Chain A
Amino acid sequence: MKKEITVTINGEKHTATVEPRTLLVHLIREHLRLTGTHIGCDTSNCGACTILVNGKSIKSCTMLAIQADGKEIITVEGLATTEGLHPIQEGFKENHGLHCGYCTPGMMMRAVELLADNPNPTEEEIRWGISGNLCRCTGYNNIVKAIQYAGAKMRGETLPSTEPEFV
């Protein structure tokens, strides 16, 4: 009944034997022990489990592990390199784009694809673009700022101020 699959995660090839019903998120979290990808719901609404599969942001609770056979996966653990943080990570840190950190990995993975599709999004495009990811802590203002910051960094532009406008 179990099936052997091979996936490339964050550049490394992994072979695993899974039940056909095993969810991709469980493969990632429990078989491969990459626990940065989180689970926040059971109806594909919250987006805490968002990862990139062949460059597309996917809610990994809604995909079977066997469907990922042969695919290239990037999780939050694959964002930073030896050179340093990914611009989206820097954006979240510099702009206070996270509180409890639970939605953050999924939110960042979604933002990576958003910026790949639309390198200079408007605030409204960002808000709609992350509307499949729920955050309960931040009220989203600073997540929007974090994504704008990452966009500017990736475009090589002057970085927006990270001082809070709290006067």
Chain B
Amino acid sequence: MIQCKTSKEIGGMGHSIKRKEDARFIQGKGHYVDDIQLPGMLHMDIVRSPYAYAKIKSINAEAALKIPGVIAVVTGKDLEKYNLHWMPTLMSDTQMVLPTDTVMYQAQEVAAVIATDRYAARDGKEAVMVEYEPMKPVIDPHKSLDPNAPVLRTDKPGKTDNHIWHWEVGDKEATEKVFAGADVVVKEQMHIPRIHVASIETCGCVADYDKVNNHLTMYMTTQAPHAIRTVIALVAGHVGLTEEKVRVISPDIGGGFGGKVPVYPGYVIAIAVSFLVGKPVKWVEDRSENLQADSFARDYHITAEMAGTKDGKILATRFKVLADHGYTDASANPSKFPTGLFSIGTGSYDYGTAFMEADAVYTNKPPGGVAYRCSFRVTEAVHAIERMTDRFAFEVGKDPAQLRMENFIKKDQFPWKSPTGWEYDSGDYHAGLQKAMDAIDYDGLRKEQAEKRKRGELMGIGISTFTEIVGAGPSKDFDILGIKMFDSAEIRVHPTGKAIARFGTKSQGQGHETTYAQIIAEELGIPAEHIQIEEGDTDTAPYGLGTYASRSTPTAGAAAAVAARKLRDKARKIAAYLLEVSEEDLEWEPGKFSVKGAPEKSKTIQEIVFAAYTNHPQGMEAGFEATHYYDPPNLTFPSGAYICVVDLDKETGEIKVRRFVAIDDCGHIINPMIVQGQVHGGLTQGLAPAMYESLIYDEDGNILNGTFMDYLVPTAVESPSWETGHTVTPSPHHPIGAKGVGESPTVGAPPAIVNAIVDALSHLGVTHIDIPVTPFKVWKILKEKGVA
């Protein structure tokens, strides 16, 4: 049971208050980018390449320009005149806005058609004639480094191969030594395939440049509006678009999941065109463009090894990654982390030796490397460690739950230094797994499985006990393009004691308008319902790096608490003045200060705030507002224990997820209803790559499932009825002890599901199946083993 310090009326932390933002969404009054219509607005559509790798021989816009309503066709050559045909990526690589001579992946932007309405723009797109000279693309990342593979990035002077970077962490020699002397070594090759966030709202913008005022308002689907504004100012300052002349507005966003962090060519072209013609330009991609061209996630080929003793003690792990980045490295990672936070991959286990390395390569596929509801490559790491833990348990003949219990870092070992350099803040992994096992009746399931196996029925139980790493991040190590990854809150309390608070983050459905209000309510005792939250407008919100990687609660949520505490300090001074006592004689309870030993002498926060405007002490600054930029001292480390039960159909390979219990630990819980909702959603987004989703390319680089007809987003039928619960291990360094939760389930669910499926087949000698585990893959195995 979650204990609340505030009354229901105040609605501070721990209350499942209903979401404030829902009132507009349920009435169809949400305000998304495509809902914006400005006077004189033009529409942009984009001509895209049918080839994965080709020279552009010519672009003929003559027929397009004859279509009524079409006013311009913009090509790379046009942008080249303004030096806008290339742009930097977040990882210090470069990306074409529009090509001048070569296309590097199928569906790449080739030209933009500007027209007076959506339909004319589409007609124009169909009429643009592009002549290509196709070339043999590099699709398989394993062949990308072959000596005879064509060098793709000929734009980079001196580049002689398709290698992007090499990264490593841990102690290579010590790891080799442990592996050489270990009783047991297990090894698997695994591919975490390319997937797509597929938020139901695609990406888009309205670029509105006002020539007279030399001012750009950019409405866009971005998770990080401030960073975007700074980038625009840095890139376009020389043509007069300095930072105060740029306003980025991120209105309601229809799901982000990391896919709305990068800058896509469409945004840049829309700005350029609006700048040139002085009219607003709308670009909204359609679903197929979104799937085929926007940032992918994952695509890591991992060789994973674990060494241990024959009685089941994990001693060391070694992961080697081949990362397929497409034609440029446009990953959305903090600058110093080319593999994101993959180095969390030693997981929840107490051992001291590990080595990880990765090599990234170019191929003729779209760029990306975004999150898909994941904190910078944590999902890949968790998949590897949780699969290998099961693999190791199988090898030594131990129950995987038992083996985990024996290897967990114990709760008194925190803060725990991981062999790859992280300091885990807190955790109680034993409690989480025990709770999950009790909830699902683990022992009963194992008995049932044994009986079913005797009858030839296929049932599996899979566990995942993961450690997440979120809340990027401490300014010592974390920045994006040099901007430190703090975040901010500004609270302004009106004379009557109602407040508005603004943040540098941007909700895409996470419920910030409710949970931030609850944090402030907790600290100040002002009812959450009277605290209005605003985000997403760079003209009004304090600077911050945005919402992704489960960072909002760890950073901006902390900022809210600290800013509110500054105000509480001021309130104490005012209360002391009003009650004519010293500050030390006052005690706080949510909503009021009272005199110690004389509780009848008190001042409510509302009375105090009113006095701040009407009767403040001489010498004190009037008003009641505070701002805080929070630089976290460490990341936070949420965890979870998930158990999945599957039944497999022996004849068809069909996989039924019968039960799935998820116990999450995200520290102190702000709103249980919202946390649970985040867990539900994240679990379905974990089920998706585990069983359904992957972007598939043929050897010519054609995408084979680039629409919602064949890219299988789970429906309510595929998605099981999730069973959820929690444990609470507060973060010791976070002002309210919270850790972040949005991504945990997406990170933790896939290995639980795969471990269950492999467990159902383990007696047949199956040790690994790559995701997505489809009925066809299972059926093929059953056929091979003579079972189907």
Please give the residue numbers on chain A whose beta carbons come within 8 Å of chain B beta carbons, in ascending order: 19, 21-22, 26, 29-30, 33-43, 45-46, 48, 75-77, 79-80, 85, 89, 92-94, 96, 98-105, 108, 123, 126-128, 130-144, 163-167
How near does chain A come to B203, taking the closest CB pair, in angstroms?
12
**For residue A141, which residues in chain B have a CB less than 8 angstroms away from its CB?**
680, 721-722
Q: Can you name 16 extra interface pairs (CB under 8 A) apart from A19-B119, A34-B28, A104-B26?
A: A30-B37, A35-B35, A38-B254, A40-B254, A43-B287, A76-B26, A80-B27, A100-B200, A100-B255, A127-B715, A128-B716, A128-B717, A135-B716, A136-B255, A139-B682, A139-B722
Q: How far is the CA of A134 from the CA of B716 in the complex (A)?
A: 8
Say whether B708 contacts A89, CB under 8 Å.
Answer: no
Q: Is there a chain A Cβ closer than 8 Å to B189's Cβ?
A: no
**For residue B707, which residues in chain A have a CB less than 8 angstroms away from its CB?**
41-43, 45
Say whether B200 contacts A136, CB under 8 Å.
Answer: yes
Say whether B29 contacts A138, CB under 8 Å.
Answer: no
Say whether B708 contacts A41, CB under 8 Å.
Answer: yes
Cβ contacts B671-691/A at 8 Å (1 or 0 each): 011111111111111000000
Q: How far is the CA of A108 from the CA of B22 in the complex (A)?
A: 13
Q: Is there a chain A Cβ closer than 8 Å to B118's Cβ?
A: yes
How near does chain A come to B434, taking the closest CB pair, in angstroms?
14
How near does chain A come to B297, taking the closest CB pair, in angstroms?
13
Say whether A134 contacts B28, CB under 8 Å.
Answer: no
Q: How far is the CA of A138 from the CA of B675 in the complex (A)?
A: 11
Q: A38-B254, A92-B26, A164-B16 are in contact. Are A21 and B287 (CB under 8 A)?
A: no
**For residue B34, which residues in chain A have a CB less than 8 angstroms away from its CB?**
29, 35, 38-39
Interface size of B in residues (CB-CB distance below 8 Å): 66
**For residue A89, which residues in chain B have a CB less than 8 angstroms away from its CB?**
26-27
Q: How far is the CA of A138 from the CA of B745 in the complex (A)?
A: 12
Residue of B nearest to A141 (CB): B680
Q: Is there a chain A Cβ closer than 8 Å to B719's Cβ?
A: yes
Q: A102-B254, A105-B28, A108-B26 are in contact. Are A142 and B199 (CB under 8 A)?
A: no
**For residue A41, which residues in chain B have a CB less than 8 angstroms away from its CB?**
286-287, 707-708
Say whether B253 contacts A100, CB under 8 Å.
Answer: yes
Q: A43-B709, A96-B673 are in contact. Are A134 and B200 (CB under 8 A)?
A: yes
**For residue B719, which residues in chain A have a CB less than 8 angstroms away from its CB?**
127, 139-140
Q: How far is the CA of A98 from the CA of B25 in the complex (A)?
A: 8
Chain B, interface SS category: loop
Say whether A100 contacts B717, CB under 8 Å.
Answer: no
**For residue B515, which residues in chain A have a CB less than 8 angstroms away from its CB?**
none
Residue of B nearest to A127 (CB): B716
Cβ contacts B639-680/A at 8 Å (1 or 0 each): 000000000000000000000000000000000111111111
Residue of A nearest to B31 (CB): A35
Most chain B beta-carbon neighbours within 10 Å: one of A37, A46, A48, A141 = A141
Indicate which residue in B27, B676, B678, B681 contacts A36 across the interface (CB closer than 8 Å): B27
Say whether B716 contacts A140, CB under 8 Å.
Answer: yes
**For residue B724, which residues in chain A have a CB less than 8 angstroms away from its CB?**
165-166
Most chain B beta-carbon neighbours within 10 Å: one of A29, A40, A101 = A101
Q: Is there a chain A Cβ closer than 8 Å to B288's Cβ?
A: yes
30 A-B pairs with C-beta separation under 8 A: A26-B118, A38-B254, A46-B708, A75-B28, A92-B22, A93-B18, A96-B19, A98-B26, A99-B677, A100-B254, A100-B255, A101-B254, A102-B199, A103-B200, A131-B716, A134-B200, A139-B680, A139-B682, A139-B685, A139-B719, A140-B680, A141-B721, A142-B677, A163-B16, A163-B673, A164-B16, A164-B673, A165-B724, A166-B726, A167-B1
Indicate which residue in A40, A79, A94, A128 contacts B287 across the interface (CB closer than 8 Å): A40
Residue of B nearest to A138 (CB): B681
Q: How far is the CA of A131 from the CA of B719 in the complex (A)?
A: 10
Q: How far is the CA of A140 from the CA of B683 in the complex (A)?
A: 10
Say whether B288 contacts A42, CB under 8 Å.
Answer: yes
Residue of A nearest to B285 (CB): A42
Say whether B721 contacts A85, CB under 8 Å.
Answer: no
Q: Is there a chain A Cβ closer than 8 Å to B477's Cβ?
A: no
How near does chain A come to B279, taking the closest CB pair, in angstroms?
17
Say whether B508 contacts A167, CB under 8 Å.
Answer: no
Chain A, interface SS category: loop
Say whether A138 contacts B255, CB under 8 Å.
Answer: no
Q: How far is the CA of A48 from the CA of B202 in the complex (A)?
A: 12
Say whether A93 contacts B23, CB under 8 Å.
Answer: yes
Say whether B255 contacts A134, CB under 8 Å.
Answer: no
Say whether B28 contacts A138, CB under 8 Å.
Answer: no
Q: Is there a chain A Cβ closer than 8 Å to B257's Cβ?
A: yes
Instruction: State which residues 249-307 of B face A: CB under 8 Å.
Output: 252-255, 257, 286-288
Say whether B22 contacts A136, CB under 8 Å.
Answer: no
Residue of A nearest to B715 (CB): A131
Q: Is there a chain A Cβ closer than 8 Å to B21's Cβ?
A: yes
Q: Is there a chain A Cβ closer than 8 Å to B242's Cβ?
A: no
Instruction: State which residues 23-66 of B face A: CB under 8 Å.
Output: 23-32, 34-35, 37
**For residue B491, which residues in chain A have a CB less than 8 angstroms away from its CB?**
none
Q: How far is the CA of A80 from the CA of B679 in the complex (A)?
A: 30
Q: How far is the CA of A38 from the CA of B32 in the complex (A)?
A: 9
**For residue A93, which residues in chain B have a CB less than 8 angstroms away from its CB?**
18-19, 22-23, 26
**For residue A142, which residues in chain B have a CB less than 8 angstroms away from its CB?**
677, 680
Residue of A nearest to B288 (CB): A42
How near does chain A come to B663, taking the closest CB pair, in angstroms?
10
Q: How far is the CA of A135 from the CA of B713 in the complex (A)?
A: 9
Indicate which residue in B19, B26, B119, B200 contacts A102 across the interface (CB closer than 8 Å): B200
Q: A43-B707, A138-B677 are in contact. Are A99 and B716 (CB under 8 A)?
A: no
Indicate which residue in B31, B35, B508, B672 contacts A166 across the interface (CB closer than 8 Å): B672
Q: Is there a chain A Cβ closer than 8 Å to B511's Cβ?
A: yes
Cβ contacts B105-121/A at 8 Å (1 or 0 each): 00000000000001100
Q: How far is the CA of A137 from the CA of B509 in the complex (A)?
A: 8
Residue of B nearest to A144 (CB): B716
Q: Is there a chain A Cβ closer than 8 Å to B762's Cβ?
A: no
Residue of B nearest to A37 (CB): B28
Residue of A nearest to B284 (CB): A39
Cβ contacts B422-459/A at 8 Å (1 or 0 each): 00000000000000000000000000000000000000
